[in-house]
Amino acid sequence: MKPPGPARVGAIVLVLLSLLAVLQTTCAQKNAIDIYSLTVDSRVSSRFAHTVITSRVVNRADSIQEATFQMELPKKAFITNFSMIIDGVTYPGNIKQKDAAQQQYSAAVARGESAGLVKATGRKMEQFQVSVSVAPAAKVTFELVYEELLMRRLGVYELLLKVQPQQLVKHLQMDIHIFEPQGISFLETESTFMTNELADALTVSQNQTKAHIRFKPTLSQQQKPAGQQDTVVDGDFIIRYDVNRTLSGGSIQIENGYFVHYFAPEGLSTIPKNVIFVIDTSGSMMGKKIQQTREALIKILEDLRPEDHFNLISFSSEASQWKPLLVPASTQNVEEAKKYANSIQARGGTNINNAMLMAVQLLDTATREEQLPLGSVSLLLLLTDGDPTVGETNPKKIQKNVKEAIGGQYSLFCLGFGFDVSYAFLEKLALDNGGLARRIYEDSDSALQLQDFYQEVANPLLTTVSFEYPGNAVEEVTQDNFPLFFKGSEMVVAGKLRAQSPDVLSATVSGQLPTENITFQMESQVAKQEEEFQKPKYIFHGFMERLWAYLTIHQLLERMVSTSDAEKQALETQALGLSLNYSFVTPLTSMVVTKPEGQEQSQVAEKPVENGRTVFRHRAMGHKRPRLPGPFVSGRRNFRGQETSPTAPPPAPIQAPTFILPLPGQSVDQLCVDIKSTPGPLLLLLSDPDQGLEVTGEYKMEKAQFSWIEVTFKNPQLQVHVSPEHVVVTRDRRSSQYKWKETLFMVMPGLKMTMDKAGLLLFSSPDRVTIGLLSWDGPGQGLRLLLRDTDRFSSHVGGLLGRFYQGVAWGPPDATDDSKRTLWTRGFEFNATRKLKLDYQEGTPGTELSCWSIEL
């Protein structure tokens, strides 16, 4: 569906993060506990998501069975309610102060009873689990509610829907309602389990301010081939949408006596930055960690702007700096820095204190001697994977030393690599100095995680941002001063309207540009805004008050990390009061799950604190699944959408990749192009400016293979970089890595991208050429490019392969050999020979294709 409204201005990704309502049975009898209904209802009002997961089960066995309700929810979300309905009786979960619930919890553990805890399980997820015994033929309804404010990051909000029912469900339905008064400018969906058959179960409708996404597959659509009982619904479902941003002062929205101010101005230029990368090269970084760090650092250095200044410090037992001073990010300096980054080795201990003080001293010297651009922003990025072991090793002493050295002049961002690092230490180190901490998870995409984090802080737009509202109009306002505003982010301020507040709420936002102050003015009609949120029937009312409480609690908890012990108690008391008043499960509260008499009475849901010591070492939730065995799957669909099946062993390997080019409107319907020599390793394969399409690749003559192929679209902005190992999708400056043969289904305005379990990656659109990419495991293995609907190329198509779609002329067959003829295109002449070539488009190793073959 083509989105209404003006051109896209920023990107917000709403990813409904959470649903793993998995009901498991501990008995030997399979499917004794049957999920007959599983529904998700998420209502998103101005970025605040209220999600209800309801699961209904029945015990079909003739004996008592145990049903376990298990789901995963966002780490930033707060559970607000959980209840079980058994035989018409509701058993609620009651939220209490953590200390009040601890005695019951400890007693239950002492008796050997299980405890239902919320546990950290991955990058963005926490697991909630409760078990209950179910009598024969009895039905149980589980209902869990959680709420979350979707914060903007790299231009997107994420609300990832994790769908894993683990069995066929008669009534499986997800409904996501979105209401954005600013207007929805585009909407797209992505899924790792969606197929063309399941696509019919997805419906999307929207108007200027509202959208409704429904996923409701039938039993037959859920079922795997060959009558298996297992479900194909297993993976991630993602929704992305953007809002209109026409007002530079942001959007002030008011509902039921509370307001929220969203601020993300457009059209500001990036402020020059001075950045020092402080890289841990101790022995614990040896192997994959240091390799991924080098890879990410080289990519990050390439993204520096010429007006930026930078330096590198590597540290183990001792710290050493790449240059004596910060240097401009010129082409020459960046190339030298990349060589330095590529040479760093892992050995020795971890001397964080000396490295950080050296970095601060570099910035102090540059500032004092006026070596840096006027009005520039100075940043420190620390990457480490362990505790300090050399020099000053007391974390509190290091935190004190660094805070005193920085003195509020610079912002420090800390990246903790893996689970061995003391995350609490890094979090306080960052928050003490106007930055934030992030954990980098050890996985195949660690380098991408590092790059994505850098992108978050790569483009500062404003410094010292402050929000002001009339004192007679508002009270109890959340944080209203921020040191930095970065491109792709959004500042959110909420508060309460006074009883006698004016009819118009005004706001002033001030900030600092490189050489001047800037001020934004904003007004909002109170009565008009109140009326706005009464219209949509599916919006849960009173949400803005809960949004204010949610944001306030999170900010109080964050302040507790970096404040003194004397102030911490007052902040904790305030956060606890709000948590209890609004029924939020926070690190200060617990939810006691009441159960029927005779069963465990004290299961407790607690929100974990990620400290790096108690986090479960589960595989990070996301786009990471094992590669399926073998290059083909029985019954896969080929490039033409036809069913195929495995055939005889493949013929002997070919020595160079063959491109199969369907030529529309020609008497010759297939052209096979073999690469025998190239002018260089980097090749422009296809370019069509009218379609906003470009396909490039790097070809290695010695291996007769492509080391990578990249497909770029201008509208929507999408870049897909494939290598034989993986697929990297970059959209709106964020990157996701997939393994070949992972299922993927992504619908954007004007373009659909899919990948099936056989590893066929397709880009299709009603008015575009269909592009296919395949990591070929068969004879002549390597990357393959496939084309379909080539009649849709424009008259401006070009490139190594694109030239065969413009001005092609065929000569008559050779007088002595009708298997030979001549082809002319754009001044080039080629000898074509009729040959049998391996047809990898069919997806079967033994298939051959008769085509006219030429060599480049």
In the chain, where the domains are located? 273-458, 658-855
Spatial separation of the C-alpha atoms in residues 184 and 4, rounded to whole Å: 8
3 state DSSP class of 347: coil
Spatial separation of the C-alpha atoms in residues 542 and 109, rounded to whole Å: 38
Residue 198 backbone dihedrals phi, psi, to 5 degrees: -75, -20
Cis peptide before 716 (omega within 30 of 0): yes
Spatial separation of the C-alpha atoms in residues 379 and 412, rounded to whole Å: 6
Q: Among candidates 727, 793, 624, 7, which has minimal Cα distance to 719? A: 727
Query: 153-176: string of b/e by CB count within 10 Å (b at 16+)?
Result: bbbbbbbbbbbbbbbbbeebbbbb
Spatial separation of the C-alpha atoms in residues 317 and 304, rounded to whole Å: 29
Q: Among candidates 473, 518, 521, which has minimal Cα distance to 249? A: 521
Dihedral (CA of 673, 677, 681, 687) sign:
negative
Dihedral (CA of 362, 364, 367, 369) sign:
negative
Q: Which two tokens stand for residue 684?
A: 């422009």
Give the DSSP per-residue string, 481-509. Answer: EEEEEETT--EEEEEEE-TT--SEEEEEE
Spatial separation of the C-alpha atoms in residues 718 and 716, rounded to whole Å: 6
pLDDT given for residue 803 in this prediction = 84
Spatial separation of the C-alpha atoms in residues 208 and 533, rounded to whole Å: 15
Q: Among candidates 551, 12, 126, which has minimal Cα distance to 559? A: 551
Q: Where are the alpha helices (DSSP H) in 118-215?
A: 196-199
In one-letter notation, the amino acid at residue 795 is S
* 473-529 tens-digit pLDDT: 999 999 999 999 999 899 999 999 998 888 999 999 999 998 899 999 999 999 888
Spatial separation of the C-alpha atoms in residues 362 and 651, rounded to whole Å: 62
In one-letter notation, the amino acid at residue 79 is I
Ranges of the chain whose pLDDT falls below 70: 1-31, 100-123, 125, 226-229, 247, 536-538, 594-595, 597-604, 608-657, 664-669, 679, 732-733, 778-780, 841-846
Q: Which two tokens stand for residue 518?
A: 């800037």
Q: Which CATH architecture has domain 273-458?
A: 3-Layer(aba) Sandwich (3.40)
Burial of residue 515 (CB within 10 Å: 0-12, 13-18, 19+) is exposed
Dihedral (CA of 575, 579, 582, 584) sign:
positive
Q: How many CB atoms lie within 10 A of CB 62?
A: 10
CB 85 within 8 A of CB 69: no
Spatial separation of the C-alpha atoms in residues 638 and 605, rounded to whole Å: 48
Dihedral (CA of 281, 283, 285, 286) sign:
positive
CB 836 within 8 A of CB 847: no
Residues 6+ apart with CB under 8 A from 658: 672, 673, 674, 780, 837, 838, 853
Q: Among candidates 16, 303, 6, 44, which has minimal Cα distance to 184? A: 6
Spatial separation of the C-alpha atoms in residues 566 and 553, rounded to whole Å: 19
Give the DSSP per-residue string, 450-484. Answer: HHHHHHHHS-EEEEEEEEE--TTTEES----EEEE
CB 172 within 8 A of CB 222: yes
Spatial separation of the C-alpha atoms in residues 619 and 691, rounded to whole Å: 39
Residues 6+ apart with CB under 8 A from 113: 600, 602
* 700-713 tens-digit pLDDT: 877 778 888 999 99
pLDDT given for residue 115 in this prediction = 42
In one-letter notation, the amino acid at residue 461 is L
As a 3-state breakdown, the chain gives helix, strand, coil percent values, each rounded to 5, of: 20, 40, 40
Spatial separation of the C-alpha atoms in residues 76 and 149, rounded to whole Å: 8
pLDDT given for residue 16 in this prediction = 38
The distance from CA 444 to its chain's CA centroid, rounded to whole angstroms, is 15
